[in-house]
Amino acid sequence: MVSKKMTFGLLVVLLAVFFSCSQQMTEDRILQTAKKIHEEAITLDTHVDISTNYATPEVDPGIDNPRLRCDLVKMERGGMDGVFLAVYVGQRQNLDAEGYKWAHDVAMEKFEAIHRLTQEMYPDRCEFATSPDDVERIVKTGKRAIMTGIENGYPVGEDLSLIKKYYDLGTRYITLSHSRHNQICDSSSPREPLHNGISEFGKKVVAEMNRLGIMCDVSHISEKSFWDLIEITKAPIIASHSGCYALNPVDRNLTDDQLKALTKNGGVIQIVALGGFLKAETPEHREAVRALREELAFPSRREMRRMTQEEREALRPKFEEYRKRVEEIEETIPGTNIQDYVNHIDHAMKVAGIDHVGIGTDFDGGAGIPGFNNHGEALNVTIELVRRGYSAKEIKKIWGGNLLRVWRDVEKVASELQSEG
Ligand SMILES: [Zn+2]
């Protein structure tokens, strides 16, 4: 006769087996669902940085390049369909002809690099896109769509005709400023304003961008500049790589009021994957990184911002070691992770709505977090979204649908403005 005790014991074992099996099944189902959605979605990233020697034998984007978080191999592996490679130009102190000329020349070098990638180096694996229609067509062929925007309006100088020149080179967004005030508007840093928002010249820049069909990008600009832009723009705007201020109050992030304004404007916030914008650092993390900087004699972010392009380039070899060691620190100290990343998507979704949030990593510009360190790991974002109950339709909007909608709206406004004459 089987004792009651034994029957109970058997029941407990059976239940434990059942629950662990069903948990495994749930995990498997999440993975399968995520893979299917990820495959079907048009997956776009609105912000990846490149160096001036990009698309050369030194910085080859056609191999699984340890120097890059975004290259064609990682995009292919991670199921990434398209990326905006940023023509980033640093901000020099002088707002004069000499500074503008320098900025123009840096921008031209980066345009050349991007066109070298798509036209000379790997035309069989990627293609340059200048419209949402282009993106959809290219993705269907199985190639990566490469797009571009200029990060910092500094290279526009005081010459409105340059905006058309950059448009003709493929520019489809311009981040109005970088991390210092320029001739167009105030940046989110320093806090002391120069124009108190967008300058008179900046208003003409916005009008010309609206007329041509170039998206206005608010990542980096001051809050007052943002509100000025909301008032004067005739087209929806984007934040190509920003986070939510409510989750981490840094000046680069958008407040809830700004997110609500994006909804009204029809625009989109593309969530940045840079740890410092996603979560306030713990004292342990900060101390470990500080000690590392000291050991390697590596400059701080603030010091880096003051450096010239050439000085930064010279830091490259040291940067590789620094980056690797920071990743090691992140593994031992709980820093930012993919949950924090998706928390910002969640928040933007709740405040601005599902039609107004997307992905803009800032890879190769300082971004990368455990779980989403490069484009090869892009599926992890989809897995986390599925785990949190997002539907296929919602995830497709986040990964690219929203950005393509905004871009189409911007094109529509431009053609209306142009037909008005
Ligand atoms: Zn940036």
Q: What is the per-residue pLDDT across 15-27, written as a single tens digit (0 to 9) for each? A: 887 777 677 768 8
Q: What is the pLDDT of residue 25?
A: 67
CA of 362 relative to ligand 1 center, distance in Å: 7
CA of 421 relative to ligand 1 center, distance in Å: 34
Q: Residue 322: helix, strand or coil by DSSP? A: helix
Which tokens hold the place of 334? 């709980």
Beta bridge partners of 128: 146
Nearest alpha-carbon partner for 384 in 352, 351, 348, 344: 344
CA of 359 relative to ligand 1 center, distance in Å: 14
pTM for the whole thing? 0.88
Q: Are 84 and 30 in contact (CB under 8 A)?
A: no
Element housing 30 (H / E) = helix 4-40
Q: Are 406 and 266 in contact (CB under 8 A)?
A: yes
Question: Which residues 6+ apart lie within 8 Å of 211 measured at CB?
Answer: 414, 417, 418
CB neighbour burial string for 24-50, b if at least 16 within 10 angstroms, e if fewer: eeeeeeeeebbeebbeebbbbbbbbbb
Instruction: Say if residue 55's pLDDT is above 60.
Output: yes
Q: What is the pLDDT of residue 313?
A: 74
Q: What is the per-residue pLDDT across 233-289, written as a single tens digit (0 to 9) for each? A: 999 999 999 999 999 999 999 999 999 999 999 999 999 999 889 998 778 888 888
Instruction: Say if residue 309's pLDDT is above 80.
Output: no
* 73-77 mean pLDDT: 98
- Taking the C-alpha atoms of 128, 344, 338 and 47 in order, what is their torsion angle to the nearest 10 degrees? 20
Q: What is the pLDDT of residue 359?
A: 98
CA of 245 relative to ligand 1 center, distance in Å: 16
Confidence category of residue 322, pLDDT binned at 50, 70, 90: confident
DSSP 400: I
Instruction: Say if residue 82's pLDDT is above 90.
Output: yes
CA of 220 relative to ligand 1 center, distance in Å: 7
What is the C-alpha to C-alpha distance for residues 20 and 133, in angstroms, rounded to an integer? 46
What is the C-alpha to C-alpha distance for residues 136 and 300, in angstroms, rounded to an integer? 41
Q: What is the pLDDT of residue 273?
A: 96
Bridge-based pairing of strands 171-175 and 144-151 is: parallel
CB neighbour burial string for 289-300, b if at least 16 within 10 angstroms, e if fewer: beebbeeeebbe
CA of 88 relative to ligand 1 center, distance in Å: 8
Q: What is the per-residue pLDDT across 182-225, written as a single tens digit (0 to 9) for each? A: 999 999 988 899 999 999 999 999 999 999 999 999 999 999 99
CA of 179 relative to ligand 1 center, distance in Å: 8
CA of 17 relative to ligand 1 center, distance in Å: 49
Instruction: Tell me how far the alpha carbon of residue 356 is from its chain's centroid.
Output: 14
Mean pLDDT for the chain overall: 93
CA of 174 relative to ligand 1 center, distance in Å: 11
Element housing 319 (H / E) = helix 309-332
